[in-house]
Amino acid sequence: MKIGILGAGNWGTTLAIMLSDKADVNLWTIEKIEGRENTKYLPGYKIPDKVNITYDFDDAIDSCSIIILAVPSQVMRDVAKLLYKKTNAVLLCVSKGLEKTTLKRMSEVLFEETGVPEDNICVLAGPSIAREVIRGVPTSCVCACKNKENAKLVQSILNSKTFRVYTGSDVIGAELGGALKNIIAIAAGICDGLGLGANTKGALLTRGIREIIRLGVVMGANTDTFAGLSGIGDLITTSFSTDSRNHKVGELIGKGYPMEYVRDKMVEVAEGIDTTSAAVELSERYNVSMPITQEVYEVLFNKKSPLTAIEALMARELKPENL
């Protein structure tokens, strides 16, 4: 089997290394990789000689049965346009975000721009910090697709003794869980940056998943999905891991650094920043209450003090827990 991977960040590079023993892998990048080591995004790990590192897009996708899209969500549409009517492959999106301008999920962007049927578009979601995966830390994810056979195909090629893959059909839930948890992870990082305790973080994650469920259900997702790997599983990992970009954003803000500094500090894209903006718009469109998301937005984009944001959340009108 031949697999094309579009994007050589830490996740795309990790997948290329992982899959090199199972398939012929093409890794497409626009940034030069010297000495077969991606020193910018995944230092310390050699890309096997059998992986074809290419800077030619058409070469990367030629004759591939599966094409993995591992580019940041805000450039996904530009990359998807390059695929237009060039492939019959199964597309697997591993990026977790919402398009800021259209508020769309990545599978929607791929469907609109590639000419590939919805049944051939899969998404990978769940707690999967790339630097842990590449070290062989036991990890579990879910591949969601409307076509069960395509989900099983991805499952069979990705599954290994340290990387367990489940299948699912709730593409909407898997994508929204993967994208929206980044907002809560930023909030968790802020709590850690402020030096707050486990009580705060436990409540934050619990109320955060409630917000995600509220929006997800009105957008067509299955409630049960958010109790799984792409929901609470990914939320917990991203909110606690020191390798989480979104947690790092929040932590720096909690320590008092301005947003401009935080953006400059990040080597890779923290998807939660732009997703916060998109989620606020979606909450207004669907008339869904998302107070944590709203306060994260105010901190990120309107320079609201994190402590003032926390005070606002604690002072909200009292209500039953299930609302």
Task: Determine how many CB atoms are found less than 10 A away from the CB of residue 152.
Answer: 14
Could you tell me which residues come within 8 angstroms of residue 311 by beta carbon, excluding any fewer than 6 positions away?
none
Helix, strand, or coil here: 3?
strand
Q: Where are the beta strands (DSSP E) in 30-83?
A: 52-54, 66-69
Length of the chain: 323
What token pair was written down for 225?
A: 């999905």
Please provide the DSSP assignment of 175-234 as one string. HHHHHHHHHHHHHHHHHHHHT--HHHHHHHHHHHHHHHHHHHHHTT--GGGGGSIIIIIH
Sheet with 52-54: strands ordered across:
52-54, 24-28, 2-6, 66-69, 90-93, 121-125, 139-144, 163-168
Are 225 and 170 a contacting pair, CB within 8 Å?
yes
Q: How many CA atoms lie within 13 A of 211 on its CB side?
A: 26
Distance CA 323, CA 214 (A): 9
Between the alpha carbon of residue 232 and those of residues 155, 236, 237, 280, the distances in Å are 21, 6, 9, 20
3-state DSSP: the chain helix, strand, coil percent, rounded to 5? 50, 15, 35
Among candidate residues 181, 265, 303, 319, the one labeled active-site is 181
Are 96 and 105 a contacting pair, CB within 8 Å?
no
Closest to 226 measured CA to CA, from 268, 190, 175? 175
Distance CA 124, CA 255 (A): 33
304 labelled catalytic: no
Residues with active-site annotation? 181
